[in-house]
């Protein structure tokens, strides 16, 4: 679909409404750089930001990209099983279990 196609899609934008010390209202479209408008009333500020968004979107399009991570496995997987054949593994696990039972008595054995 090209930016100038005639298909209309309803989109929702979060608008921040501010009341500057100088008076009036300022409307800012959240997440869109340099997309803000002013108005003497809240409704006028919203109307102005709506017109600005429509004009901006007439010359653009919003797309969603799906990107696959280049990392094929979880970074901790290279450590999985590294002590599998260690003769001291059972002793270390028993020490860990005993320590847990001392410090956290509610943990079941």
How open is the CA angle 57-60-63, to the nearest 5 degrees?
105
Residue 109: pLDDT above 70? Answer: no
Distance CA 19, CA 42 (A): 9
pLDDT tens, 27-52?
A: 999 988 889 999 999 999 999 999 99
**For the chain, domain boundaries:** 15-58
> CA geometry: angle at 15 spanning 61 and 35, to 5°?
55
Query: Does pTM top 0.75 for this prediction?
Result: no
Q: Quick count: other Cβ atoms within 10 Å of Cβ 29?
A: 19
- What whole-number percentage of the chain has pLDDT above 70? 88
What pLDDT shows up at residue 2?
53
């Amino acid at each position: 679909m090209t930016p100038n196609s005639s298909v209309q899609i309803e989109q929702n934008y979060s608008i921040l409404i501010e009341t500057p010390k100088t008076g009036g209202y300022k409307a800012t479209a959240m997440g869109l750089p340099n997309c803000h408008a002013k108005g003497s009333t809240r409704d006028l500020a919203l109307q102005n930001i709506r017109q600005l968004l429509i004009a901006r979107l007439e010359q653009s399009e919003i797309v969603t990209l799906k990107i696959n991570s280049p990392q094929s496995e979880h970074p901790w997987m290279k450590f999985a099983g590294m002590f599998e054949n260690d003769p001291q593994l059972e002793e270390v696990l028993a020490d860990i279990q005993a320590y847990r039972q001392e410090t956290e008595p509610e943990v079941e054995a």
